[in-house]
Amino acid sequence: MSNDHVSNLMKGHMETLATEGKRADGRGINEYREVKIEIGMLNTAEGSAMVHLGKTKVLCGIKMLIGRPYGDSPKSGTMMTSTELAPLADQSFDPGPPREQSIELSRVVDRGIRESRMIDFEGLCIEEGEKVWTVFIDLHILDNNGNLFDCCTLAAAAALSNAKIPNVQHGVADKDVDLPVNCWPISCTFGKLGDSVILDPTSEEEGVMSARFTVAHDENGNLRAAQKGMNGAFTDSEIREAVKTARTSDNVLREALKGIQ
Amino acid sequence: MAGQTDMKLIKNGVRLDGRKPDELREVKIVAGVLDNADGSCYLEWGNNKVYAGVFGPMECHPRHKQKADRAIVQARYTMAPFSVNDRKRPGYDRRSTEISYIASQAFERVVMVEEFPKASIRVDMQVVEAHAGTRCAAITAASVALADAGIPMRDMIPACASGKVNDVVVLDLNKEEDNYGQADLPLAIIPSTGEVVLLQLDGHLTPDEFEQAMDLATSGCMDLYEKMRNALDNRYGGSA
C-alpha cells in the first residue's frame, strides 16, 4: 500500500522531524488525524458506515445471508471480511483479483473484529447445525491517504453497530432486529520512520517507513489482535511501548465511535 | 481461538501432552535434505512436519516485481492436502497468501538483498503434517534452508509462538490448545539484535499477559536458535 515514489530528500526530512517529535503535516508522533464517522447511508446494506481518517476514506457495507455453520461450531454464525483496493483510490492500485496487500489488510481487520467477539456469533444461529447467519463485511477504499488498517477496522465496527438482521427478507421472523454486538475493538497502527515510531501514518509516511505494527484492543484495554508488517523491524521495547501508547491514543477513535451510537 | 471452553487443558501445572507451561515441544532439524534445491531443511516440531527449499539468487519473475537496487524474497507457504484431518483443498488460499507475504518481508530484513539487484530468492515452505504452529515451524525451517543455500544473511530468524490457555500464558501451543485456547502470539526475532521481524496476535490478552507472552516467545526463539545452529553444525561440521 505504500507509495514508492517519495524522494530521499523528503525521507530525510520526515525522519529528522520524527526525531524531534514532529510530523510533516504538523501532528505530534502519537497523534491521530481528524476522524469522522457517518453511518446508515446505504439502504440496500444491512448496515453501513463511511469513515474519514484525515483524507483516507473507507466505505463499509454489511450484508447478511443464511448459510451453513462450520462442522465444529454448529451453533455459531460466521463472518467474512473482504477489502477492495479500488483503482480509483490510489494510482498504485491495480484492478483484478485481491493481491497480497489487500488479503493481509482484510485478515488483520477480520481478526480484530472476530477475536474481540464483537459480534455475538451464538446469537446468529437460526437452526442448530443447519442454518446460521453469515455476516459479510465488505470494505471499499475510496481514497487512500494512509493507515487503511485503522480506518477499515473503524468502518467495520461502525457499520456493524447499526446493522439489522434481515429476518423479514429471508422469512426467518416477522421483524428485523439489531445485530447483537458485545464490545468495541479499535486498532492502532504504528510506523517505523528512521529510528522513530509514529502513530497513524499517512501514505507519504508509509512510502518511507520500514515497518508497520497494528494492535487491536477492546474497550477494557485488553489485547485482541496484532500484526507486524513490512520488511523492516521493531525492537522489542518499541513493540511494548507501542502497545501502551495504543491504549491511550485509541480514545480519539473510541470517542468518534461513541458519537454515532 | 475458540476461547470458550470448560475444557481443562492444564492440570496441576502440566499440559495435556505432559509439558510445563514454558516448555517447547520436541524439535528436530536436519539441514540439506533435498537434492534440487540450493538449500533445504526438514523440520519436525512436535507432530508438525515441514520441508523448506531455497532457490537463487536468480532472475526475478515476473519481471515487474524486480527491484532495481535489491533482490526480493519470494516466500511461499503451502499446506499439503493430506496435512490435516479433513482434506485441505490444494493450492493457495487467503491464509497461506498472508503467511507467505509476511514471511517474505521478515526474510528480506535478514537476507543481504542489496547484494543482488533485480534478483529473486525463492523460499518454498511445504507443510506435510500440521498440528498447530506450522507458520513458525515453516519460517524456522526456511531460515535454516537459506543458510544451507549459502545466501548471505545477517542472521537466521527463529519463530516461535506463545499463547494463553486456561488463563495461563504458555509457550508453543499444541493442536488442542490452539483450538480451545484463548490467545496465540507467533513471534520471529533476529537473535543477534533482538529485533522483531514478525508478530501476529489473535485472542485475548491483558497488558500483563502480553508482556509475559512476549518474554516467553522470545526465550522460545532463543532455544530454537540453538537447535538451528546445531543443525548446520551437524551438516557442515566445525562450529556454525
Answer whether A73 sits within 8 Å of B2, measured CB to CB: yes
pLDDT at residue number A1: 43
Kindly tell me the number of DSSP H helices and DSSP E strands found in chain A.
Answer: 6, 13
Answer whether B214 sits within 8 Å of A236, measured CB to CB: yes
For residue B34, is it within any domain? yes
Tell me which chain A residues have a C-beta less than 8 angstroms from the C-beta of B183: 223
The residues with which A79 forms a beta bridge, in sequence order, are: A135
Q: Report how far residue A190's alpha carbon sits from residue A205's, in angstroms, rounded to the nearest whole number.
A: 11
Tell me which chain A residues have a C-beta less than 8 angstroms from the C-beta of B97: 100, 103
Check pLDDT > 60 for residue B184: yes
Answer whether A223 sits within 8 Å of B210, measured CB to CB: yes
pLDDT tens digits for A206-260?
A: 999 999 999 999 989 999 999 999 999 999 999 999 999 999 999 999 999 988 8
Q: What percent of chain A shows pLDDT beyond 90? A: 77
Answer whether A226 sits within 8 Å of B198, measured CB to CB: no
* Among A114, A149, A228, A239, the residue to mutate for chain B (most B Cβ within 10 A): A228
Calculate ∠ Cα B213-B217-B218, nearest 5°. 115
Q: Report how far residue B10's alpha carbon sits from residue B167's, in angstroms, rounded to the nearest whole number.
A: 10
The confidence band for B62, taking pLDDT boundaries of 50, 70 and 90, is: confident
| Interface confidence (ipTM) of the complex | 0.72
Please name the residue of chain B whose CA is at the shortest distance from the CA of residue A4.
B67
Query: Residue B157's domain is classified under what CATH number?
Result: 3.30.230.70
Q: Is A183 on the interface with B (CB under 8 A)?
A: no
The CATH code belonging to domain A33-259 is: 3.30.230.70
Q: Report how far residue B79's alpha carbon sits from residue B130's, in angstroms, rounded to the nearest whole number.
A: 8
* Among B5, B73, B85, B200, the residue to mutate for chain A (most A Cβ within 10 A): B200
For residue B203, is it within any domain? yes
pLDDT tens digits for A38-76?
A: 999 888 889 999 999 999 999 999 999 999 999 889 999
Domain count, chain B: 1
For residue B1, is it within any domain? no
Q: Which domain holds residue B56?
A: 10-236
Mean pLDDT of all residues in B163-184: 95
Calculate ∠ Cα B99-B75-B162, nearest 5°. 40
For residue B173, is it within any domain? yes
- Minimum mean pLDDT range among A90-94, B132-136, B143-147: A90-94
Question: The pTM is what?
Answer: 0.83
Q: Report how far residue A252's alpha carbon sits from residue A54's, in angstroms, rounded to the nearest whole number.
A: 13
Tell me which chain A residues have a C-beta less than 8 angstroms from the C-beta of B193: 233, 235
For residue B60, is it within any domain? yes
For residue B4, is it within any domain? no
pLDDT tens digits for A129-145?
A: 999 999 999 998 988 99
Answer whether A103 sits within 8 Å of B98, measured CB to CB: yes
Answer whether A236 sits within 8 Å of B194, measured CB to CB: yes
| Contact call for residues A199 and A185 (beta carbons, < 8 A) | no
